[in-house]
Amino acid sequence: HMGARSVATNNAEFRNYYERKKAEGKHDLTIINAIRNKMVLRVVAVIKNQRKYVNNYQKAA
């Protein structure tokens, strides 16, 4: 939970996601839960593929 809160404020990709969902009217804890899920899925993908994480995030115009 605290990790999700941290990336929601300090990571550009997750900050944009949080702000977009907040503007849609989503509840704070619902957004944090979605961020936690995204983080876990990325960790599982890294372990499953046995590769380093590659951050290829680009903000849409």
The pLDDT of residue 51: 87
Here the tokens at position 15 are 């900050």
- DSSP conformation class of 25: T
pLDDT (average), residues 41-61: 82
**pTM given for the model:** 0.83
Q: What pLDDT is recorded for position 57?
A: 67
Instruction: Give pLDDT, residue 55.
Output: 78
Say how far apart CA 35 and CA 3 lie, in whole Å.
Answer: 9
What's at 34, amino acid-wise? A
